[in-house]
Every structure is written in structure tokens, then in C-alpha cells.
Amino acid sequence: MERVGKMELQKVASYTYAVEPAEVNAQGELPLTVLAQRILETATFHAESWAVGYSTLIQNDQAWVLARLAIEMQAYPRIGDTYVISTWIEGYNKHFSARNFEFAGKDGRIYGYARSIWSVIDMQTRTSADLTTFEYLAERISDKECPIERQSKLKPVQGEPLLAYPVRYSDIDLNRHVNSVKYIEHMLDSFTLQQYDEKYIKRFEINYISEARYGMDFKIYRNELDADIFAIDIKNNEDEAVCRGKVTFIPRR
Amino acid sequence: MERVGKMELQKVASYTYAVEPAEVNAQGELPLTVLAQRILETATFHAESWAVGYSTLIQNDQAWVLARLAIEMQAYPRIGDTYVISTWIEGYNKHFSARNFEFAGKDGRIYGYARSIWSVIDMQTRTSADLTTFEYLAERISDKECPIERQSKLKPVQGEPLLAYPVRYSDIDLNRHVNSVKYIEHMLDSFTLQQYDEKYIKRFEINYISEARYGMDFKIYRNELDADIFAIDIKNNEDEAVCRGKVTFIPRR
């Protein structure tokens, strides 16, 4: 990963990656899970460059928490391709900050965009901090365009669980909750390899609602809302949604 | 990731990484699975720098395949730590090449080492290429020391499967087989979070034997060889081992 220039006060920061052979999926493309990991990473790098990242906040027992994410792709970078992730703050209010992402080739070709919504929580009380006290955010808002639809509030999925299995060691992150990317992996694993051979994910949305822990089961509920559009809930043992997703496939040409 | 200098003919190549908040495990450490991913990545970078990497070999329908891996750690880099992976070729014969790794802090502190054994296979025939035809390898062997025990040939685990579940989309790599790192993840997920809280993995070994595909089930067999030493087989539907692992834990202080 190559960081472009000094980031300190850049409203839009750009980070360059290559798609490595060992990380691609069966279709030879950057998997959506790896892209989500890069989204988290570049958000961290940019916040760190402003001294509002993980290492600063943790001193006050605070941390950024991802609340919603929407990714929309025209195409995915393929094995050996280089891609540039640009990220910027669109705005913020008392409770949430909106951070956007652009995924482009070195030649300027656009792969897609993402929108994300974050809050800062107190790790002890689990209450959210007032972002308007982060005054410096105001002067760092960029008006760069993010031409994809905003995140929506996803609706519950009813019915019977499609799959159920325990939360495992590799699912658990630093906060001892399930890692944000692992929820996405579990949602995407409810589809078959053949579905990915025939179609690719045009748009993916996730709402993080509560937090799953070690010792719980994942219960995956899925419903086809329309042709190639799926709603997915991951619920806990009490049948409460821990997160909701929406996946829109389109046929490969 | 930061690459040190021009790599073209360096016998020992070094790559620098930081442990990102979004990738650590519940213990705040770099997970062994992420370390294994970095091992594959840095092997690829080094081979690419010599023009014997993925992008060159694939033109002849050939690819490097990992046969064995042994990792031995004194400690794991923790969240925010920077670590340097150095890699070099120890030797090779007709069938196999031996590549070693050192994991160190920026200050020279040693975290651990790894040994790996690779072959080059023809993607169509699945037969292995003669590495003695890769003449330039001879002049690139380094005598840098790797002070951990060699990989062993692991013995079969008998008994009943501990766990069984299907191979999923996220398990599958470019060759449409299970990703090398995902086998490790499944092995490590057979232990509880509490076991990782109390102990850490001192040594991990894996032998890759055959290849698991989509549509198969993972059947995990595990046997405690001695206190804190476990043998793990992943078998397919025909009860043939696709890979064998050995995990040695030691108590945390």
C-alpha cells in the first residue's frame, strides 16, 4: 500500500493498492470482503493523519464504530490491477459522521463508490459521543461528489433461518464483538459459487444494529425482494437482528 | 505496506507492515491467519521482483503452490506495531523450493520465523515443473539463518470428526480450490476463544496434501498429542486428508 504525499490536512486522501493473487476470489476479482477491509483501513489512515484515529481516541476509551455501509460497483479490480481508494468526509452531525470512498484505476477509470456512516462510542458505557465537539471536522469536509444512492434503513426479514452456526474465534475483533467484515463474509456465503459465476454484486448495503459475541449463534435469514435483490438478516439466539444487509446482483456479460 | 528499496536482485527482501485496528484478534494481536496472508504476499512480491512470480508463470499456465508451512513465534505484533517481514530462498531441488521468513520489529526485535516449501505446477496437468530449469534461483540462495525446526511430515488423525460443514464461497480462491489461508482459519476455529485468551500459538505447521473444492464438506479431526499440542486433519467427503496441521500452544504470562 502506497500513501500519496503528506496527508495531514488533505480533505481527500488517496491510498494505492494492488490486487494480489492470494486474495482474489474464484472469479479472479477483488472480493467485496477485502474491499470492505480496505474501506476500514483507509478510513483509519485518514483519521489517524488528523489525529482523530484509533490511537488518539482509545486514550479516552473511545472508538469509531461503523453504523452503515453502502458499496456500489460498476466493476471490480482484477488480479494484478492497481486501484486507488480516495476517501473524504461529506458531513457530520451530533451523532454521525458520513465518510465516502471512490475506487478508481491508476488511469482514472472508476470502479465504484461507497458511503459509510460512523459514530464514536465510549467503550465502557457504549454511549455515543457528541461529534460536534470534534470541531476540526468542520473545516475538513469535502464537497467531492459521491454519485451513488444514500444508505437506507433496511427492513426486517421474516420467516425461517436459512443457516445457523456458532460464532467462531476468527469472527471476533479487538472489542470482542464480531468483526464488521466478518458479518459481510457470512452474508455473502449464503449464496452459491455458481451465483457468483453468473452474476456480480452491483450494490451491497449493511446496517449494523447490535453486536454479536463469542458464544452466540449466527442465524441467517434471507428473502428475495425482487429478481436478484436479496434482504439478509443476521439474528442472535433471541431472534434479534444484529445486522441487516441488502445485496443486488446483476448478470455478468 | 512499504517495500524497502529496489528489490530486483536482492537475496533477502524486506517488506514493512503495520498492525491495523480492523485486522487484530480478540487479544489485540496480529492473527496467525493475517500473518499467513502476508507470508504469501511477500513471497509473491519477492518472486515478482525476479520475474518468476505469478504474472510471469501464468503465461506458461504455471503457478507456485504452497506445500508446507511452519511458523514459530516468540510473540505477535500488537495493534499499532510496525513489523518487517524479510524473506529469502534457502535452497531448492527438482521438485521443491524452500523459502524462509523472519518477522521483526522496526527496532530489530524478533517476533518469529517461518519456513515454507513450494512447488511449481502446470495448471492443466497438475504435474510439478522441474525447478532446476529455473537456473537463476541458484545464484539467489541466501545463507541467512532461520533458527526454527524444519517442517515435518504430519501423521494422520484418526477417530471421529469434531466438526463438519460445507466449503463456502469465501473459501475459494483463483484456482477454484480452497484458499491456503482459509484452511488455517478453519483449523484455528476449532479452538475456543477462552483457549486463545489463556494461551498463544507458539508453533503452527501445515501440510497441504490435496485440494478441497466448492461442493465438498470440511470434516475437522483433532487429536491432542501431548499437553497443548494438537494434530488437526481436514478431510473431504471420502475421508481423505486435504491438509494436516499441528498447533502448539503455550500459556500467556
A89 in any annotated domain: yes
B188 in any annotated domain: yes
Q: What is the CATH number of the domain that holds A30?
A: 3.10.129.10
Last residue of a domain, one of B140, B174, B209: B140
- pLDDT band for position A1 (cuts 50, 70, 90): low
| Same domain (yes/no): A16, A136 | yes
- Quick one: pLDDT at residue B62? 94
Partner-chain contact B214 A193, CB within 8 Å: yes
| Same domain (yes/no): B100, B171 | no
- Quick one: pLDDT at residue B3? 52
- Quick one: pLDDT at residue A136? 83
Whether A62 and A115 have beta carbons less than 8 Å apart is answered as no
pLDDT in tens, A62-81: 999 999 999 999 999 999 99
Which whole-number Å values give the CA distances from B168 to A244, B29, B214, in the listed order? 20, 26, 7
Partner-chain contact B20 A44, CB within 8 Å: yes
A74 in any annotated domain: yes
| Same domain (yes/no): B55, B178 | no
| Same domain (yes/no): A76, A128 | yes
Partner-chain contact B170 A185, CB within 8 Å: yes
User: How many whole angstroms separate alpha carbon A181 and alpha carbon A179?
Assistant: 6
User: How many whole angstroms separate alpha carbon B193 and alpha carbon B191?
Assistant: 7
CA distance B79 to chain A (A): 9
| Same domain (yes/no): B89, B214 | no
Partner-chain contact B173 A26, CB within 8 Å: yes
User: How many whole angstroms separate alpha carbon B13 and alpha carbon B6?
Assistant: 9
pLDDT in tens, A174-223: 999 999 999 999 999 999 999 999 999 999 999 999 999 999 999 999 99
Which whole-number Å values give the CA distances from B244 to A90, B96, B156, B222, in the listed order? 49, 19, 7, 10
Chain A residues within an 8 Å CB radius of B39 = none
Residue whose C-alpha cell is 463438519 = B164
- Quick one: pLDDT at residue A51? 86
The DSSP bridge pattern shows strands B13-18 and B229-235 to be: unpaired
| Same domain (yes/no): B71, B179 | no
CA distance A196 to chain B (A): 8
Chain B residues within an 8 Å CB radius of A180 = 22
- pLDDT band for position A227 (cuts 50, 70, 90): very high
Q: Which of A41, A176, A193 sits opposite B20 (nearest CB)?
A: A41
- Quick one: pLDDT at residue A7? 45
Chain B nearest-CA residue for A27: B174
Which whole-number Å values give the CA distances from B162 to A187, A192, B216, B231, in the listed order? 25, 25, 17, 12
User: How many whole angstroms separate alpha carbon B23 and alpha carbon B42?
Assistant: 18
Number of folded domains that form chain A? 2
Structural domain boundaries enclosing B206: 163-251
| Same domain (yes/no): A17, A90 | yes
CA distance A20 to chain B (A): 7
* Nearest one of A159, A150, A248, A166 to A214, comparing CA atoms: A166
B87 in any annotated domain: yes
Chain B residues within an 8 Å CB radius of A176 = 26
Partner-chain contact A193 B172, CB within 8 Å: yes
Partner-chain contact A26 B172, CB within 8 Å: yes
A30 in any annotated domain: yes
CA distance A141 to chain B (A): 24
Our measurement of the distance from residue B152's CA atom to the centroid of its chain's CA atoms, rounded to an integer in Å, reads 14
| Same domain (yes/no): B56, B129 | yes
Partner-chain contact B40 A22, CB within 8 Å: yes
B156 in any annotated domain: no
Partner-chain contact B174 A37, CB within 8 Å: no
User: How many whole angstroms separate alpha carbon B250 and alpha carbon B30?
Assistant: 17
Run of H or E residues at A35: helix A32-49
Partner-chain contact B169 A25, CB within 8 Å: yes
Asked if residue A5 has pLDDT above 50, the reply is no
pLDDT in tens, A39-68: 999 999 999 998 888 989 999 999 999 999
- Quick one: pLDDT at residue A144? 97
B76 in any annotated domain: yes
Sheet with A62-73: list strands edge to edge: A2-3, A13-18, A82-92, A97-105, A110-122, A62-73, A199-208, A241-251, A229-235, A217-226, A163-166
| Same domain (yes/no): A136, A167 | no
Overall residue count recorded for chain B in this entry: 253
Q: What is the CA radius of gyration of chain A?
A: 18
B154 in any annotated domain: no
The mean pLDDT of A115-137, rounded to a whole number, is 92
Run of H or E residues at A63: strand A62-73
| Same domain (yes/no): A36, A109 | yes
Partner-chain contact A169 B181, CB within 8 Å: no
- For Cα atoms A18, A19, A24, give the angle at the middle one, nearest 5 degrees: 165
Chain A residues within an 8 Å CB radius of B41 = 20, 22-23
| Same domain (yes/no): A75, A196 | no
- ipTM reported for the complex surpasses 0.90: yes
| Same domain (yes/no): B49, B80 | yes
pLDDT tens, per residue, chain B with 253 residues: 555 544 457 999 999 999 999 999 999 999 999 999 999 999 999 999 988 889 899 999 999 999 999 999 999 999 999 999 999 999 999 999 999 999 999 999 999 999 999 999 998 998 999 999 888 888 899 999 999 999 999 999 999 999 999 999 999 999 999 999 999 999 999 999 999 999 999 999 999 999 999 999 999 999 999 999 999 999 999 999 999 999 999 999 8
Chain A nearest-CA residue for B214: A193
- Quick one: pLDDT at residue A135? 83
